[in-house]
Amino acid sequence: MTIFIAIYITLLGLVLGSFYNVVALRLPAGESLISPPSHCPSCGTRLKGRDLIPVLSYLLSRGKCRHCGSRVSPLYLLGELATGLLFLGMYLRFGLSGQGITGLVLVSLAVIVSMADFKYMLIPNKVLLAFTPLLLAAVLLFPQGMLWEHALGGALGGIVVLLLALTGGMGMGDVKLFALLGWTVGFPNVILAFLLACLLGTIAGGGLILSGKVKRKQPIPFGPWLAAGSLIAFSYGSQLISGYFSLIR
């Protein structure tokens, strides 16, 4: 039975991921989520059923529009695959539990925010507003620790990134995002999430500069790394923290 649930949750993630792509790429541009229906941004041809199968459509058409041959952004494929695999990861880690549900909501927020931040260098307020009541409720129903630990996590997350935003490194979107993520992962996981985000962001930024994709001092989005650090801290925070302290003892 477990294998069927695992497959189902992965497929659910792939399908939702394809919707999250639409949300992340349309909302910041001020476009409606439902109209016009999905279309090729180059030739405007409306996409039909066979163009809308997550992952498969992209692979079968080799990442090109079937009508005009223009390249489809690999971001679409990335968003779908990431949602599917992270949904599966949350199920394998937490099973069908309250924390598993919180995990799926967290993955959804992480994917939408990351896609929007990669594409537009901003974190849409509407997305944060939509996810705030969901994550407030998920933590109240299925807390990972004491409620004060979640409240402290939210406060710390917001304050740490606010200090960085005031010195110019990050935007207010990052502040609100990490307050929400900090609430969800709680204290002390929020500290681990932040350190992981700095580590991942530095590796990615260094890689991009070395490969010549971005110039030194050109800003790179930080939202995806805050989200990735929080996903790791949410899933394996207590193991990583106790493992670390047993190493240095």
Asked if residue 42 binds Zn ion (CB under 5 A), the reply is: yes
Nearer to Zn ion, 36 or 168 (CB): 36
Size of the site for Zn ion (CB under 5 A): 6
Nearer to Zn ion, 63 or 188 (CB): 63
Shortest Cβ distance from residue 66 to Zn ion (Å)? 8
Nearer to Zn ion, 42 or 132 (CB): 42
Which stretch, 37-45, 88-96, 101-109, 235-243, contacts Zn ion (CB under 5 A)? 37-45
Among 40, 192, 193, 196, binds Zn ion (CB under 5 A): 40
Shortest Cβ distance from residue 68 to Zn ion (Å)? 3
Q: How many CB atoms lie within 10 A of CB 32?
A: 8
Shortest Cβ distance from residue 65 to Zn ion (Å)? 3
Among 43, 96, 163, 199, binds Zn ion (CB under 5 A): 43
Shortest Cβ distance from residue 38 to Zn ion (Å)? 12
Nearer to Zn ion, 43 or 52 (CB): 43
Nearer to Zn ion, 45 or 242 (CB): 45
Which positions from 52 through 111 interact with Zn ion, judged by CB under 5 A? 65, 67-68
Closest CA to 235 of 190, 194, 185, 196: 185
Shortest Cβ distance from residue 71 to Zn ion (Å)? 10
Which stretch, 14-22, 33-41, 72-80, 157-165, contacts Zn ion (CB under 5 A)? 33-41
**Could you write out the three-class secondary structure of the chain?**
CHHHHHHHHHHHHHHHHHHHHHHHHHHHHCCCCCCCCCECCCCCCECCHHHCCCCHHHHHCCCECCCCCCECCHHHHHHHHHHHHHHHHHHHHHCCCHHHHHHHHHHHHHHHHHHHHHHHCCCCHHHHHHHHHHHHHHHHHCCCCCHHHHHHHHHHHHHHHHHHHHCCCCCHHHHHHHHHHHHHHCCCHHHHHHHHHHHHHHHHHHHHHHCCCCCCCCCCCCHHHHHHHHHHHHHHHHHHHHHHHHHHC
Specify the DSSP element, H or E, that contains 198: helix 189-210
Shortest Cβ distance from residue 52 to Zn ion (Å)? 14
Nearer to Zn ion, 39 or 213 (CB): 39
- In contact, 26 and 33? CB cutoff 8 Å: yes
- In contact, 196 and 233? CB cutoff 8 Å: yes
Which stretch, 10-18, 35-43, 96-104, 171-179, contacts Zn ion (CB under 5 A)? 35-43
Residues that bind Zn ion (CB under 5 A): 40, 42-43, 65, 67-68
